[in-house]
Structure 1
Amino acid sequence: MTARRADGAPLRRGPRPLSLHLNTVLAMLLSSSGGLPLLKSGLLPWKPPLRQRAEELRQQFAHAESQPQGAEDLRHAVDREMRRRIDSVLTGIERYRQHPYHRDLPDPPVVWREGATRLLDYGPPGGRPALFVPSLVNRHYILDLSPGKSLMRWLAGHGVRPLLIDWGTPGPLERRFTLTDYIAGRLERALDAIVEETGRPVPIVGYCMGGLLTTALALRRPKAVAGLGLLATPWDFHAEDATTAKRAAALFQPFGPALDHWGELPTDALQALFTQLDPMLALKKFGQFARMDPASRAAVAFVALEDWLNDGVPLVAAVARDALAGWYGRNDTVTGNWLVGGLPVDPSRIRVPTLALIPERDRIVPPASAMALPKVIPGAEMIVPPLGHIGMVVSAGAETGVWRPLADWLAATG
């Protein structure tokens, strides 16, 4: 029998994969007592920003243990804090799974469709058309999350006619796709449909992985593209932290033999890979959520975003290999070995106006990785707002830091 919330709706499945998040949190917290001797001895290899704080903590522990019953009191304090944090994160997860929020924004009209892919038209009819391309591994509606946090609807109210690709869930046809099929096939045909209707080239804007797709599209169809917008788009996958990128590629390897059978990398496997970027993120964010008033705007916003994060889509087998082994593992983008339709994707040949919006606090796409792309595109403009990867499109600072500069650029480019 399916577990249900108090309102009768099924319990949320997330955070996905739930077992991984729970095991990681419990393993880390339950090992706290075991880590005390290493902390007190100074043998733990702290990262440079934490070394001073760790040394202060070590000295505080040494002072506490010098007092009568100090060692015993310290062990009890660590045990109490461990139990408090476990209780907090479990409470936060349960409250999230039970929360009554559900996204009820209606879809705009569909003006083009092919296979699982739709092109959504946010209007208005007289607005300047622009094609928006999201990642292949997350749902499109991060750009249309809720009434107050929708880049698409905000732009539609400021003279732009946003046309957003919804990749949908891969079906039997898409499971045979490569990146060339997505870019040189489906994406080009969507662009053709817009250009045929409007009678002019249009700006194209890609978010995250979508920026890689639009970069290739701008090279392949320069006469149909009026400008290239890049939102938090990675390029140098080994910038800042090559070890983490290569680790992601290595973690993908065990799934290799199953890919041909599945035809895709499942959503939970993808989520597990993303978890490696910050294994303790679930502990931090659900611990904070447990302290929120469930009816508050902050809690509703948390649930809306968390629902989107857990509503991922599988990545078809050939694209998973190109992205994880090619981009993350070998850094094919920078080395010139990423091919689409047999031709290298060389951004130095792009000649259309280009704007790169690169969030300064991005933990998913390091700023140095994203900056590598506009640096090789002739005349590219770069803006670095003080936001995060997802915050750049949904946070309180998104309108000032990203939405308005993007609207101004689209107005000039269109």
Structure 2
Amino acid sequence: MPQKPKPPKSAQPKAPSAPPPRRSVPSVPHPTSAAPGHTHASLDRSTMATLARMTSGLSPHAILDAWGDWAMHLARAPGRQIELMERAQSNWLKLARFAAAATLGQSPEKPFAPGRYDTRWTHQGWAKAPFAVWQQGFLATQDWWQGATSDLRGLKRQNAQRTGFMMRQLLDTVSPANFPVANPEILEKTWQTGARNLFDGAVHYADDAHHILANEHRPVPDQFALGKVLACTKGEVVFRNELMELIQYSPTTDKVQAEPVLIVPAWIMKYYILDLSPENSLIRWLVGQGYTVFCISWRNPGAEHADLSLEDYRLQGVMQALEEVNRIVPDQKVHANGYCLGGTLLAITAATMARDHDTRLASITLMAAQVDFAEAGELLLFLDESQVAYLEDMMWAQGYLDRPQMSGAFAAIRSEDLIWTRAVRRYFLGEPDLPTDMGVWVNDTTRMPARMHSEYLRGVFLENRITAGRFAVEGRVIALKDIEVPMFVVATETDHIAPWRSVYKTALFTDCDMHVLLTKGGHNGGILSEPGHKGRHYRIGHRPAGAHYLDPDSWLAANDPVAGSWWPEWSRWLDSHSSGTQAARIPALGLGPAPGEYIHQC
């Protein structure tokens, strides 16, 4: 049976460690601090910050620039204008034929289909007149605007995508699904309940409005209490500083692999996405496979942490955690795992360690994490110089990027499902938001320190410096191709935050031995793909060190789907890069039981 070691001296309860000396990152500016004495600049920034609060962080200049660019290029393109007139005529004729047939009681084939994630039309009432005609009219208009905002010679592609995105947002506001008299599901529910659904919806609306206006953070429901139902894998907080807590989980096997696993989650949300309910907890499952698992839990920063930098997150976060893992498990290399932005930070850290001949890593796993942001999906629609400067001024005034300002951008990408469908069900159908483990985690959002988020948006996202060879750490540029340890890169098929082809580009900028795995699902659901989850599959391919690059479409064609969860595949890969087993390691008494204190910060 595993033996419980004596508590190491450094793991005893203590005051938060002093942060290491800050080192400059000259290649990434941090314009979130106003220079003293520059009253004119401060006035400008205060004005922009006020406007930013009024527009929820969206730059009016960026919006006007996109529409102006689109309108000017369309005005000088008579061929496209004729094409759009023909498209309007074609759509109108299709709609007229459908409406005539539907009015006569026939069941014609619908000429326009909703988008992949558009669940507003699932009720059977949308198949009958007049609702079917209204639905098809909306989709016909949506189809025309999709053609009108498609790529046009000379038009910036980002502006074409922005105008299309903004038109989808505007059209969604007038969708017939949003109005009780035009939505058959709302009418049916109102008839069945005697309008009770509308009363319940009004109560829900008042409650939501109160929380939004008061900027109140909804507490985690008791049935999903943190540390009892969610994030309940047993462990001990073995280290804490001003930026993070390090959790070591208790073993559930007599033997464990010699090399421990260190998990670096994203700081944009709380870590327990990887330790949700017991049945879908990746951390609990990994512990059960015979690994000593450590995980970082980031604190939720406030205005007092405005000057924390991306380098602080590397030094006081990943590097400090690695130091503690080395202290607790001496003389062993570490399997490092980074999720989402945590994976980007881990890649930066690993490249820096490789440059400095630091050989403490046994392997690197990146889950839904990007290192190149040239194809970062629809999030790019929110970023250009004007937009980033706008956000910087807002963060300069607040000290951080607040939760609603960040979560709104993610919801807008899938507004038809994440905003409008939810609104209809909650406010018109009177249905409460039934909490789920994933839903609780999504709502448990965090803030972003002003300086760090500015450095990330500019240096990593907007200017794409990591793969451009212009990202400096401690005054010297890093290169991903310096990484020599084996890598395991996980992407998800329907990821709208880190599109899989963007994640796959890790293979383009590295030369090490690499396995790339593409799993079914989205950014979060694809990662939480526990064994036994129905309908799951994945593809996996191996690139030996130094092999030629294979483009993503050729890779996809060369690797057939495999039924089941990808977790066992990853476990087998970890085992193949481990040196053997030993007696299980029980965490020494430290600063309190998992999940620690930082997870509860609002």
Task: Answer whether TM exceeds 0.5 for this pair.
Answer: yes
- Equivalent position to 2:486, from 353, 360, 364: 353
2:492/2:518 contact within 8 Å kept: yes
For the residues of structure 1 that align with 2:565 and 2:447, how far apart are their CA atoms?
A: 31
Q: Are 1:263 and 2:399 matched, yes or no?
A: yes
Amino acid at match of 2:262: L
For the residues of structure 2 that align with 1:251 and 1:137, how far apart are their CA atoms?
A: 19
Change in Cα spacing, 1:154 to 1:75, as seen in structure 2 (3 Å) is: closer
Counterpart in the other structure of 1:113: 240
Counterpart in the other structure of 1:216: 348
Per-residue displacement from partner, 1:218-277 (whole Å, max 9, x unpaired)? Answer: 223332111100001112212274x75153345443232232232211111111232343
2:302/2:399 contact within 8 Å kept: no
Aligned residues: 365
For the residues of structure 1 that align with 2:376 and 2:523, how far apart are their CA atoms?
A: 16
Q: Are 1:103 and 2:225 matched, yes or no?
A: yes
Counterpart in the other structure of 2:249: 122
Per-residue displacement from partner, 1:307-359 (whole Å, max 9, x unpaired)? Answer: 21121111111221122223332222221222333233311100111110111
Change in Cα spacing, 1:261 to 1:307, as seen in structure 2 (3 Å) is: same
Counterpart in the other structure of 1:28: none
Per-residue displacement from partner, 1:85-120 (whole Å, max 9, x unpaired)? Answer: 695999699499898742343453111111141111
| Aligned-pair identity (%) | 21
Counterpart in the other structure of 1:205: 337
For the residues of structure 1 that align with 2:327 and 2:249, how far apart are their CA atoms?
A: 18
For the residues of structure 2 that align with 1:237 and 1:412, how far apart are their CA atoms?
A: 31
Q: Are 1:195 and 2:326 matched, yes or no?
A: yes
For the residues of structure 1 that align with 2:178 and 2:394, how far apart are their CA atoms?
A: 38
1:236/1:369 contact within 8 Å kept: yes
Amino acid at match of 2:441: W
1:116/1:171 contact within 8 Å kept: no
For the residues of structure 1 that align with 2:225 and 2:537, how far apart are their CA atoms?
A: 20
Per-residue deviation, 1:139: 0.5
Change in Cα spacing, 1:240 to 1:216, as seen in structure 2 (3 Å) is: closer
Q: What SS does the aligned partner of 2:570 have? A: helix
Counterpart in the other structure of 2:372: 236
Q: What TM-score, normalized to structure 1?
A: 0.74
- Equivalent position to 1:405, from 565, 569, 591: 569
Q: Which has the higher helix share?
A: 1
Q: What TM-score, normalized to structure 2?
A: 0.53
Per-residue deviation, 1:144: 0.6
Per-residue deviation, 1:192: 0.8
Q: Are 1:385 and 2:515 matched, yes or no?
A: no
Counterpart in the other structure of 1:61: 95
Q: What SS does the aligned partner of 2:363 have? A: strand
1:178/1:318 contact within 8 Å kept: yes
Q: Of the two structures, which has the highest relative contact order with CA contacts closer than 8 Å and spacing of 6 or more? A: 2
Counterpart in the other structure of 1:317: 450
Equivalent positions of 1:257-296 (< 5 A) are: 257-283=393-419, 286=422
1:235/1:370 contact within 8 Å kept: yes
2:336/2:365 contact within 8 Å kept: yes
Per-residue displacement from partner, 1:266-289 (whole Å, max 9, x unpaired)? Answer: 111111232343332324663797
Change in Cα spacing, 1:56 to 1:144, as seen in structure 2 (3 Å) is: farther
Q: What SS does the aligned partner of 1:216 have? A: helix
* Structure 2: 5+ residue stretches without partners: 1-52, 57-79, 105-128, 136-174, 190-196, 209-217, 539-563, 579-602
Q: What SS does the aligned partner of 2:238 have? A: strand
2:246/2:321 contact within 8 Å kept: yes
For the residues of structure 2 that align with 1:289 and 1:162, how far apart are their CA atoms?
A: 41
1:391/1:398 contact within 8 Å kept: no
For the residues of structure 2 that align with 1:92 and 1:198, how far apart are their CA atoms?
A: 56
Per-residue displacement from partner, 1:372-398 (whole Å, max 9, x unpaired)? Answer: 113322222111112221112224348
For the residues of structure 1 that align with 2:500 and 2:367, how far apart are their CA atoms?
A: 11
* Structure 1: 5+ residue stretches without partners: 1-16, 21-41, 47-51
Return the index of the structure with the highest Cα Rg. 2
Per-residue displacement from partner, 1:130-152 (whole Å, max 9, x unpaired)? Answer: 00011111100000111211000
1:237/1:331 contact within 8 Å kept: yes
Change in Cα spacing, 1:322 to 1:44, as seen in structure 2 (3 Å) is: farther
Per-residue deviation, 1:74: 7.1
2:402/2:448 contact within 8 Å kept: yes
Counterpart in the other structure of 1:25: none
1:92/1:286 contact within 8 Å kept: no
For the residues of structure 2 that align with 1:135 and 1:210, how far apart are their CA atoms?
A: 4
Q: What SS does the aligned partner of 1:384 have? A: strand
In angstroms, what is the RMSD of aligned CA positions?
A: 4.2
Which moves more between the two structures, 203-212 or 72-81? 72-81
Which moves more between the two structures, 321-330 or 399-408? 399-408
